[in-house]
């Protein structure tokens, strides 16, 4: 598909509506993206034609559903450049993917006095599971500090990294600031001391080309709903040799090879980590989202979104009282800011009245907000279907709101 913004917008029914009597401008894409028609159609078709349980069925519908489910697994493998489809595990989302690693890798490979390294800009879902592991195992959580612009301080990272580090778990692109972390460098440094690396790809997978072999990460976690796909579904990529050594996460059907009351043997990967009936419909529909992204190509998507971010920065930086939060040199299309003298929630409400949907608050990054000495921010995050004229309306709206307190 060529990069024709009108054509792209035409694929997203939800965009074509008014809120509070104004045309909707949807800038809450870091929270969740909208879904193209092809995803909605795939969901409906699955339930209308193929609905059945997968893998063990002896009938045509189950065969079709199984084939489509496994086709998505293969499409995900291709999307992130993994070696084999068996390294792709379907979960409920980034949160569950990280918790899976915490509960399994954490159980077998992290012990008393071992260290886990995260950064100041982590989402709560990449903090809390590790705190739980540390509490259970007597391990230590260490945090890489960041600069005023929202970039990790490399020298501090090097000081914190040691032979005690078992795992570095770090966000690829920050949801609250947009910062893209130098993950390849981080992974190389971590491997040099024998640590494994988990990348939280919740925000990077929709914007950046991802090649897990080139990055050489041990784990990558992401959510499909931030990638034009359905909610309630996520992916955990793990290297075969690491996944094979990890104990199962949940016990139940599908994850077993043989069950007796005396002893159970476990299934091969990825099934060892997919206990119970999975989210079949959403997995199948996610392939349509991947096809949509692949048809546009990531470099074109990124170029479009970068241009939107540049345009926003240019227009907003001239507004009196505008305070950007997170000014890293490498960013995905996230614009976090405050208005001098105003609470972010009030700014969000006023923008909503103008038909502009943004997110306000701590963005599940309370320690990061504390680092900046703020309660929260207003966050406008851009996706493939946003336009320059929408950015201009945002800047106009922000300028009007800022004038109330900044004469």
**What is the C-alpha to C-alpha distance for residues 63 and 288, in angstroms, rounded to an integer?**
19
Residue 303, C-beta contacts closer than 8 angstroms, at least 6 positions apart: none
- Single out the catalytic residue among 132, 364, 369, 374: 364
Taking the complex as a whole, how short is the minimal distance between the CB of residue 100 and ligand PMP, in angstroms? 12
| String of DSSP letters for 374-404 | -S-EEEEE--TT--HHHHHHHHHHHHHHHHT
Ordered alpha helix ranges (H), 272-403? 280-296, 298-316, 344-353, 366-372, 388-403
Q: Which residue has the tokens 């997110």?
A: 359
Residues 153-172 that bind ligand PMP (CB under 6 A): 171
Round to whole Å and give the CA distance between 73 and 82.
Answer: 11
- Listed ranges 196-204, 243-251, 314-322, 344-352: which one lies at the site for ligand PMP (CB under 6 A): 196-204
Among 175, 206, 333, 336, binds ligand PMP (CB under 6 A): 175
Question: Is 364 or 369 the residue whose CB approaches ligand PMP more closely?
Answer: 364
The site string for ligand PMP over 298-337 (x = CB under 6 A, - otherwise) reads: ----------------------------------------
**Of 92 and 343, which CB lies nearer to ligand PMP in the complex structure?**
92
As given in the structure block, the two tokens for residue 358 are 């943004």
State yes or no: cis peptide before 63, omega within 30 of 0: no
203 binds ligand PMP (CB under 6 A): yes
The radius of gyration of the chain from alpha carbons, rounded to an integer in Å, stands at 22
Residue 223 near ligand PMP by CB under 6 A? yes
Q: From the CB of 200, what's the least distance to ligand PMP, in Å? A: 5
Distance set, CA 192 to CA 130, 149, 195, 219, 372 (Å): 22, 28, 7, 17, 32
Contact flag: residue 29 with ligand PMP (CB under 6 A): no
**Cα angle vertex 302, ends 297, 306, to 5°?**
160
Tokens describing residue 407: 């004469």
Rounded least distance, CB 290 to ligand PMP, Å: 17
**Smallest distance from ligand PMP to CB 211, Å:** 19
Query: Which of 66, 72, 94, 377 touches ligand PMP by CB under 6 A?
Result: 94
- Of the two residues 171 and 275, which places its CB atom closer to ligand PMP in the complex? 171
Is 150 among the residues that bind ligand PMP (CB under 6 A)? no
Contact set with ligand PMP (CB under 6 A): 93-95, 123, 125-126, 171, 175, 200, 202-203, 223, 364
> Could you give the residue numbers annotated as active site?
364
């Amino acid at each position: 598909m060529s990069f024709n913004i009108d054509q792209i917008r035409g694929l997203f029914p939800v965009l074509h509506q008014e809120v509070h009597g104004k045309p909707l401008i949807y800038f809450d894409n870091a929270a969740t993206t909208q879904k193209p028609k092809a995803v909605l159609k795939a969901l409906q078709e699955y339930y209308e034609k193929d609905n059945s349980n997968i893998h063990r069925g002896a009938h045509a519908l189950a065969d079709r559903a199984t084939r489509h489910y496994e086709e998505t697994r293969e499409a995900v493998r291709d999307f992130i450049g993994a070696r084999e489809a068996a390294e792709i595990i379907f979960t409920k989302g980034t949160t569950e993917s990280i918790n899976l690693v915490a509960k399994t890798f954490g159980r077998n490979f992290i012990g008393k006095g071992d260290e886990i390294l995260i950064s100041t800009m982590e989402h709560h879902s990449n903090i809390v599971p590790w705190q739980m592991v540390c509490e259970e195992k007597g391990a230590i959580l260490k945090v890489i500090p960041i600069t005023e612009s929202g970039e990790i301080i490399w020298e501090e990272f090097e000081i914190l990294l040691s032979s005690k580090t078992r795992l570095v778990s770090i966000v690829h692109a920050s949801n609250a600031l947009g910062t893209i972390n130098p993950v390849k460098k981080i992974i190389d440094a971590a491997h040099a001391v024998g640590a494994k690396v988990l990348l939280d790809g919740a925000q990077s997978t929709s914007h950046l080309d991802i090649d897990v072999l080139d990055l050489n990460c041990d784990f990558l976690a992401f959510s499909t709903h931030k990638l034009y796909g359905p909610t309630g579904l996520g992916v955990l990529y793990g290297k075969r040799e690491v996944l094979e050594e990890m104990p199962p996460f949940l016990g139940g059907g599908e994850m077993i090879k043989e069950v007796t009351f005396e002893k159970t043997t476990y299934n091969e990967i990825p099934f060892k980590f997919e206990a119970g009936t999975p989210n079949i419909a959403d997995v199948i529909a996610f392939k349509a989202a991947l096809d949509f992204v692949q048809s546009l190509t990531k470099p074109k998507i990124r170029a479009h979104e970068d241009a939107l971010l540049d345009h926003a920065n240019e227009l907003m930086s001239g507004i009196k009282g505008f305070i950007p939060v997170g000014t890293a040199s490498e960013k995905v299309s996230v614009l976090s800011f405050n208005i001098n003298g105003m609470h972010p929630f009030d700014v969000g409400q006023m923008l909503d009245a103008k038909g502009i949907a943004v997110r306000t608050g701590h963005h599940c990054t309370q320690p990061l907000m504390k680092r900046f000495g703020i309660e929260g921010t207003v966050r406008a995050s851009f996706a493939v279907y946003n336009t320059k004229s929408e950015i201009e309306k945002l800047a106009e709206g922000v300028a009007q709101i800022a004038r109330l307190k900044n004469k």
